[in-house]
Amino acid sequence: FRNIDGLNDKNLKVRTEAVCSRIVKEKASFVFLQEITQENEGIIRAKLKDSFEIFSGKTYEGGYYSLTLVSKEPFIKVQNNEIINFPSIMGRNLLQTNVC
């Protein structure tokens, strides 16, 4: 689980690209990112779309949310992905991705 501090605009593009490079370098199978914004989600999708299935917890405009990245390795199959909403003053939810 990695919080990439997407709410902080300072050097956001550079920091997000560094996170993407680290994910590739570590050869991760599953990655959970929090504090994602539309701006850094675009960067993540552009950099990692060929290697990962990317699932977003975004349910409304604005704010921040989480992403789940699942490697496109042939031995990993995504069964389903679901956003589970629950009462939250901060608009949070649970992003559940089931794999086998």
pLDDT tens digits along 37-54: 989 999 999 999 999 999
Write down the pTM of the prediction: 0.86
Distance CA 65, CA 87 (A): 15
34 contacts: CB under 8 Å, gap ≥ 6 = 1, 2, 3, 4, 64, 65, 66
Would strands 30-36 and 2-3 be described as parallel, antiparallel, or unpaired?
parallel
pLDDT tens digits along 12-38: 899 999 999 999 999 999 999 988 998
Distance CA 40, CA 27 (A): 20
Distance CA 18, CA 44 (A): 10
